[in-house]
Each structure stands twice: as C-alpha cells, then as structure tokens.
Amino acid sequence: AQKVTQAQTEISVVEKEDVTLDCVYETRDTTYYLFWYKQPPSGELVFLIRRNSFDEQNEISGRYSWNFQKSTSSFNFTITASQVVDSAVYFCALSDDSWGKLQFGAGTQVVVTP
Amino acid sequence: GAVVSQHPSWVICKSGTSVKIECRSLDFQATTMFWYRQFPKQSLMLMATSNEGSKATYEQGVEKDKFLINHASLTLSTLTVTSAHPEDSSFYICSAHVQGRNSPLHFGNGTRLTVT
C-alpha cells in the first residue's frame, strides 16, 4: 500500500526565512510519481512539481527547490526567502502511474508573517 | 494551457436534497477524471475515478448510490450528492489529465458544499 507522511503539521516563519517541508513516502512500486501542490486559503490546488522515480535530480524553480532521495524515500521541498504569499497548505502526493490517482499526505500549513 | 473548470464554487442545500457538481476540461479531452473530497483541515481523499462512457470506479468506503458520477462526454464529469446530509458537507474537487502527454494533473477550483 502507498503512504505519504508529512510529519510537520504547521510551520511558522518570518518573512525572508527559508522553510523546508518534509515528505516521506512508502510504495512497493518501482515506477511511481511524486507531486507537490500548494493550497492557498481560497482552496484551489496549485501544481508545483511532478517527479518520476527514475529522476533523482534535484530541481530548482525560482525560490522553490526540491530534494529527492530514493535511499531515504523522501521528497523534501524548500522555499527560500519566504514571502507572505507563500502562506498556504502544501501537500505532497504519490501516484503509481501518471494518470492521477493520488495518495496525498496530511499537508503542512505554512504561515509566513511579515 | 490546460484548465479544469468546476461549478458551482460553493453551494448550500437543505438536508435531504440532491446537489450536482460539474467538472469540465476546457481545452482538452479527458477520458478519465478523478473526484476527491476534503474535510476541513484535512487532506484530500480520492472518492472515485470517472471514466468516459463507462461506470465510475469507487474507492473503498465510498457509497456509489450516494455519490453518483456520470462522465457522459470527454469534457464533462458530474458528481451528484444524493439525499445530502450535514456530514456530507465538505470540499469536493475534481482533477483531469491530458491523455498521452507528460503533463501535470490539473485540478478544478473545488466546490464547497454545506448541507444545513
């Protein structure tokens, strides 16, 4: 069975601080996909990244970066120089195919204060 | 880019009535759509997989007679909450994927259902 663990329920930071969100996953599949989504207070899910199990390269997109480590089954997400607009719930998710049956983690609430 | 539209954004209904939620893929065809439910301050849980032209596949514990799913065309899936009760109050969100492309899964903006 698949499982995604986001142990951090809430993280509070002051603007311009870096924040790292942890994501640990469990799966027996050799091919799988990992995702991060942002859910602002308005409720919509904003896609951030999709990574397949064969691509362990870390990725950077602006202030966002991701660290994928198969050895520890982790796919951590870092926001550098956080801003108030980063305040949201962030979900890590796992899929055994690319078609969209996602197993979501519990989510991490990020609160950025000025 | 590909967009998924969900309607309505929010709905309030009385206990015992039925509510229909629409999920449309706006500029692509989606043979498969997914329906998720999110209770306040909780994660998203997959309810069912909606397949165009065939019956939906429901996750364990989801009542198929209560949550009716119809995927009559390649761009529209509907979720009907029948005989709604206050415990059905939740955030319902759909998603769709562009078949055959290495593209991200797109989510609708969600529907907040409140049953009084």
Residue A67, Cβ density class (10 Å: 0-12 exposed, 13-18 middle, ≥19 buried) = middle
Query: Residue B98: closest CA among chain A residues belongs to which residue?
Result: A99
| pLDDT value at residue A97 | 73
Average pLDDT over residues A46-70: 91
Residue of A nearest to B51 (CA): A99
CA angle A29, B35, B88 (to 5 degrees): 125
Would you call B42 an interface residue with chain A, using a CB distance cutoff of 8 Å? yes
Q: What is the largest CA-CA distance in chain A?
A: 43
B104 reaches A (C-beta below 8 A) = yes
Helix (H) or strand (E) holding A66: strand A64-69
| Residue B8: cis peptide before it, omega within 30 degrees of 0 | yes
Chain A nearest-CA distance from B90, in A, is: 12
Q: How much is the average pLDDT of A68-86? A: 96
Which tokens in the block code for residue A44?
């919509």
| A54 touches B at CB < 8 Å | no
Q: Which tokens go with A75?
A: 């796919």
Interval B60-89: pLDDT, tens: 999 999 999 999 888 999 999 999 999 999
> What b/e sequence results for B47-56 when a residue is b if at least 16 CB atoms lie within 10 Å of its CB, and e otherwise?
bbbbebeeeb
B32/A100 CB distance under 8 A: yes
CA distance A30 to B60: 24
Q: What is the pLDDT of residues B17-56, one digit of tens each?
A: 999 999 999 888 888 899 999 998 899 999 999 888 889 9
Residue A96 carries which DSSP code? S
Q: Distance between CA atoms of B20 and A105, rounded to whole angstroms?
A: 28
Residue B101 pLDDT > 60: no
Cα–Cα distance measured from residue B45 to residue A70, given in angstroms and rounded to the nearest whole number: 25
For residue B45, the chain A residues in CB contact (below 8 A) are 104
For residue A27, what pLDDT is reported?
Answer: 95
For B53-64, how does the pLDDT look when each residue is reduced to its tens digit (9 = 90+)? 889 999 999 999
